[in-house]
Amino acid sequence: MRSFLREPLVLFLLLGGLLFLLFAWRGGGTSFRSNRIVITPGLIQHLSSGFMRTWQRAPTQAELKALIDEHVKEEIATREAMAMGLDQDDAVIRRRLRQKLEFLTEDIVAQAAPTEAQLQAWVNAHPDLYRGEARVALRQVFVSPDRRGARARADAEKLLGRLRAAGPRAATETLGDPTMLPAELPLGPQRDVSRVFGEDFARKVFALEPGRWAGPIESPYGLHLVLVFERADAPAPDLAVLRPLAERDLLADRQKQELDALYRRLLEKYTVVVELPKVSDSTAAAGVRGAR
Amino acid sequence: MTASRILRGVLLLALSAFLSAPAFAQDAGEHNPETVKKAFGKRPYSPYAGRKYPTQVYFGDTHLHTGASMDAGAFGTRLGPAEAYRLARGEEITASSGQPVKLSRPLDFLVVADHSDNMGFFPDLFAGKPELLANPTGRKWYDMIQSGRGAEAALDIIGQFSQGTFPKEIMYFPGTRAYKGAWQQAIAAAEKYNEPGRFTAFIGFEWTSNTGGNNLHRNVIFRDNGDKASQVEPYTVYPPYGSDNPVELWKYMDAYEKKTGGSMLAIAHNGNLSNGLMFPVVEAFGRKLDREYAETRARWERLYEVTQTKGTGESHPYLSPNDEFADFELWDKGNLDCSVAKTKEMLEFEYARAALKNGLKLEQELGVNPYKFGIIGSTDAHTGLAAVEEDNFFGKTTPQEPSPERMTATFFSNPKSGVKIMDWEVGASGYAAVWATENTREAIWDAMERRETYATTGSRMVVRFFGGFDFDAKDASNRMPANVGYTKGVPMGGDLRQAPAGQAPSFLVAALKDPMGANLDRVQIVKGWIDAKGELREKVYDVAWSGGRKPDPRTGKLPSVGSTVDVENATWTNTIGAPELITVWKDPTFDPTQRAFYYARVIEIPTPRWTAYDAKRFGVKPLPGTRMTVTERAYTSPIWYSPN
């Protein structure tokens, strides 16, 4: 008997069996997954700081207990769900993971602030983005085809003659037809004119010679006699003013480039096999089409 | 869907990199004393100088989700807040579906209101962490990043994480401040894209109370900048941090204001999917409605979002049988997740007009009107794209971005309740219009707080609405209606009290069509009131209309404006309707002892609905019953009359 026990194989099996029983008794089943949930002081601090940032005060004892209880539930649910494989093939989880990976990369890239020279180079390389806009200030007199019908244009021409005779200081308060369109627009870029009177009108106004009544110019509302009384040319790009914009744009561009680079580099690690469906297999083909 | 396909898509997306940003100008608020002195003598020549009231209406979206919202991400939205702001301010970007997209013209403001789920992302690697630089690995990463090899550093960091070789001494754990949240990310994006005077990027979030599938969502908007907003976490519905009861949300808002000195307001939306819970009159969450509830709700919920992609909720034919325009883009089949079908009894507590009416009654009972809200529209798009023009509609979710499928696909279907909603029922709506003194967070927020706002279903018509006791017909031909309006009355969102003896309130209402849109059919004033018997009443008045139409002497009904829509070709002409309508209207049945509200509704001539553009562009046959035309409209905030 004693010699039997001294057999190394028997001893090994016996000890193995004991260990198995021990794990089963501790509730570990046959897996070696840890079933301990430890609430550390750090975690408690994390939970209560989250509460504080929400409510602008510390949690009471009861609230803290509820926070911990909820956290424990969440931890259990997460572990059990993962053990069941519920995290697999879950579109939400996959997309969230991808998002986190991309955010991580973007954040890393954003750590390096662009230098003055890099910013200047960026602005020089993208003149269209930072070109200033010309601005005009205008007054307008409205002639409504809705009110005047066919004679609107002739009336407008006649009115133009009177306005030109009176010059840029012409009193216009009672001229033309009433409208809620503004009679005057302060100095502003083309988009400011276009948002009120439409794009065509704005384009035409920006081609006008300042200081002289012109028109009639058509808008979606009717006819207008227009005086550009001030014009300011587009200012040259000035990095001092553009700095925050240029920095924002340059960083955004870098982040895109770096993310692109990251995927290219990661792709090297993988072998991608694409098994295209046969053309006749219409269902599968539709599946590919759907995967825009 | 194959891996390489996805990857190629990603690479293409990344390669498309930086699309054009419109030219930048220093046009905001620049003041040149020389020019001013030259132009004006002692008194300004210009009658417009020195005006303090808002002269410009700003259009925006208070309710846009990006890929940072859990459900939007699940739908496949990859765009984040930065892309959302760039599209809104007029740039061309690439949608999640890979298509280029641009708005016909910029919006003036945007609230990225992602759902308030809170998560930690990633270590804020180098922010004031000398210990990191003392570590050789940390130093290496730092140098890589600084020398423009960020992707390489990211790869190395990811690799070390996955192999468990990440240096312990520089590893952060959840619970330390080194973990940056999605919220901080959202704030940072808003701060970057906020350009006072040019484009306002608000900080905000959506509180998504949805118990039982009943929509009680609120968007919360900060007046403040990041310094204050980052002192707080978005309110969630998860106890014990949060709750699904709006009363708790209001407490949270109060705590924020008290602690930081900042300001917040909340905008509820989609009562039409709340199955009778959005505007309660008896009890809410098991508690009887009392004066405190009414006061608190009225204090925080200054606006209501009356129209968006998931339907328009101004009124319903069941509630307003005499309103021929009430049947508009309705979603009245069930609640948000379609788990419970709708019953007629629920409608009264879901629609804006009915709530405004019940508010009068509650005010009589409780002394305070809980439903004294202004009106806005917004998109609630989950695509990061505030694109709801009929001919440029990018859908509610990423799978609904333009494609031949969306004419026939199902959006939501619940076989248990039998509720089914098709993609074609999604509306290309809406925007928020705000009369603010300038395009800044403060000015636009203040205008929202005073309810000087209106909703549009996607069009950008300009609408003025003033109420007072002194308006007369002449005011309608004034060259500066706003001047008269502010001088003699209160603007939309305001109050009239204690009518002078023998006088009825009169209203100056003016509407200018969208310069890129369709002519106007008519302007209406909707009156709601509580009569001598305590009954709630409503009536819709046609007050201004195009052409020489005469109301039917027998029924009083104004003939239809007609339609020029060619559905097959998705075109229309502005040969009917008027570009501008203005009038003064006096309430013919006013009783100074009865509470009332008045708001204006402006209706465009019929135009092709987005479905008509899709049918034409994709050559797809619409399903039977698909609506192919739309009459875009604007709803102003009410003006309330109260006897005391």
What's the pLDDT tens digit per position in B561-597? 999 999 999 999 999 999 999 999 999 999 999 999 9
Chain A partners of B516 at a C-beta cutoff of 8 Å? Answer: 198-199, 220
Least confident of A181-195, A239-253, B100-114, B494-508: A239-253
| Same structural domain, A142 and A121 | no
| Same structural domain, A260 and A175 | no
Residue A183 lies in a domain: yes
Chain A partners of B485 at a C-beta cutoff of 8 Å? Answer: none
Q: Name the band, by pLDDT with cuts 50, 70 and 90, for residue A291.
A: very low
pLDDT at A87 over 90: no
User: ipTM score of the complex?
Assistant: 0.80
Peptide bond into A145 cis (omega under 30): no
Look at strands B264-269 and B303-308 and give their pairing: parallel
Q: Which residue of B has its CA nearest to A109?
A: B150
| Same structural domain, A214 and A125 | no
DSSP B122-133: EE-TTTT-HHHH
Interface test with B, best of A55, A199, A266 (most B CBs within 10 A): A55
Q: Name the band, by pLDDT with cuts 50, 70 and 90, for residue B387.
A: very high
Chain B partners of A59 at a C-beta cutoff of 8 Å? Answer: 240
Nearest to A112 among B20, B148, B152 (CB): B148
Nearest to B464 among A55, A180, A219 (CB): A180
What's the pLDDT tens digit per position in A124-163? 998 888 888 899 999 999 999 988 999 999 999 999 999 9
The confidence score (pLDDT) of residue A228 equals 96
What whole-number percentage of chain B has pLDDT above 70? 84
**What φ, ψ does residue B604 adopt, rounded to 5°?**
-80, 165
The confidence score (pLDDT) of residue B272 equals 94
User: Domain end: A202, A232, A262, which one?
Assistant: A232
Q: Do B24 and A130 touch (CB under 8 A)?
A: yes
Least confident of A61-65, B289-293, B476-480: B476-480
For residue A214, what are the domain limits?
133-232
| Same structural domain, A141 and A220 | yes
| Distance, CA of B459 to CA of B454 (rounded, Å) | 12
What's the pLDDT tens digit per position in B198-252? 999 999 999 988 888 888 999 999 999 999 999 998 898 878 888 999 999 999 9
| Same structural domain, A246 and A201 | no
Nearest to A55 among B255, B510, B579 (CB): B255
User: Domain end: A232, A255, A276, which one?
Assistant: A232
Residue A245 lies in a domain: yes
- Higher per-residue confidence, B9 vs A129: A129
- Higher per-residue confidence, A283 vs B472: B472
Domain total in chain A: 2
Q: Name the band, by pLDDT with cuts 50, 70 and 90, for residue B58.
A: very high
Residue A63 lies in a domain: no
Q: Name the band, by pLDDT with cuts 50, 70 and 90, for residue A105.
A: confident
Residue B427 β-bridge partners? none
Least confident of B116-120, B270-274, B431-435: B116-120
Residue B456 β-bridge partners? B431, B634
What's the pLDDT tens digit per position in A211-262? 999 989 999 999 999 999 999 998 888 888 888 889 999 998 988 888 898 8
| Same structural domain, A256 and A192 | no
B175 touches chain A (CB under 8 A): yes
Residue A227 maps to which CATH number? 3.10.50.40
pLDDT at B155 over 90: no
| Same structural domain, A146 and A284 | no
Q: Do A128 and B403 touch (CB under 8 A)?
A: no
A7 touches chain B (CB under 8 A): no
Tell me the shortest Cα–Cα distance from A86 to chain B, in angstroms: 16
Mean pLDDT of B114-134: 55
Instruction: Give, in order, the Cα–Cα distances in Å from B247 to each of A37, A48, B451, B475.
Output: 34, 22, 21, 44
pLDDT at B105 over 80: yes
A66 touches chain B (CB under 8 A): yes
| Same structural domain, A256 and A217 | no
- Higher per-residue confidence, A84 vs B572: B572
Chain B partners of A43 at a C-beta cutoff of 8 Å? Answer: 174-175
The confidence score (pLDDT) of residue B417 equals 86
Q: Which residue of A has its CA nearest to B66?
A: A99
B7 touches chain A (CB under 8 A): yes
Q: Do B145 and A291 touch (CB under 8 A)?
A: no
| Same structural domain, A153 and A282 | no
| Same structural domain, A119 and A264 | yes
Look at strands B56-64 and B607-608 and give their pairing: unpaired
**What φ, ψ does residue B26 adopt, rounded to 5°?**
-95, 55
Amino acid identity of residue B626, one-letter, is: T
Q: Name the band, by pLDDT with cuts 50, 70 and 90, for residue B135.
A: confident
Residue A1 lies in a domain: no
For B428-463, give one letter per residue: b (16+ CB within 10 A) or e.
bbbbbbbbbbbbbbbbbbbbbbbbbbbbbbbbbbbb
Q: Do B405 and A290 touch (CB under 8 A)?
A: yes
B137 touches chain A (CB under 8 A): no
Least confident of A74-78, A89-93, B252-256: A89-93
Q: Name the band, by pLDDT with cuts 50, 70 and 90, for residue B17.
A: very low
- Higher per-residue confidence, B412 vs B433: B433
Q: Do B25 and A133 touch (CB under 8 A)?
A: yes
Using alpha carbons, select from B261, B249, B241, B248 the residue that is nearest to residue A57. B241
A 10-39 residues inside an 8 A Cβ radius of B: none
B623 touches chain A (CB under 8 A): no
| Same structural domain, A149 and A202 | yes
Look at strands B109-112 and B200-207 and give their pairing: parallel
**pTM for this model (two decimals):** 0.84
Peptide bond into B239 cis (omega under 30): no
Residue A244 lies in a domain: yes
B34 touches chain A (CB under 8 A): no
Q: Which residue of B has its CA nearest to A218?
A: B515
Residue A221 lies in a domain: yes
pLDDT at B27 over 50: no
Residue A28 lies in a domain: no
- Higher per-residue confidence, B121 vs B93: B93
The confidence score (pLDDT) of residue A292 equals 31
Residue A272 lies in a domain: yes
Mean pLDDT of B533-547: 96
| Distance, CA of B367 to CA of B361 (rounded, Å) | 10
Residue B205 β-bridge partners? B220
Least confident of B47-56, B82-91, B243-252, B632-641: B47-56
| Distance, CA of A139 to CA of A211 (rounded, Å) | 11
| Same structural domain, A174 and A228 | yes
The pLDDT mean for chain B works out to 86
Q: Which residue of A has its CA nearest to B176?
A: A46
The pLDDT mean for chain A works out to 84
Q: Do B241 and A249 touch (CB under 8 A)?
A: no
B240 touches chain A (CB under 8 A): yes
Using alpha carbons, select from B464, B547, B544, B462 the residue that is nearest to residue A146. B547
CA angle at A171 for the pair A170 and A177, rounded to the nearest 5°: 110
pLDDT at B176 over 90: no
The confidence score (pLDDT) of residue B56 equals 92
Cα dihedral across residues B158, B164, B165, B171: positive or negative: positive
B104 touches chain A (CB under 8 A): no
B 117-136 residues inside an 8 A Cβ radius of A: 118, 121-122, 124-126
User: Domain end: A186, A205, A232, which one?
Assistant: A232
A233 touches chain B (CB under 8 A): no
pLDDT at B419 over 80: yes
Interface test with A, best of B13, B27, B94, B581 (most A CBs within 10 A): B27
pLDDT at A277 over 70: yes
Least confident of A135-144, B48-57, B116-125, B400-409: B116-125
Report the C-alpha dihedral over residues B99, B102, B108, B113, rounded to 10 degrees.
-10
Chain B partners of A66 at a C-beta cutoff of 8 Å? Answer: 239-240
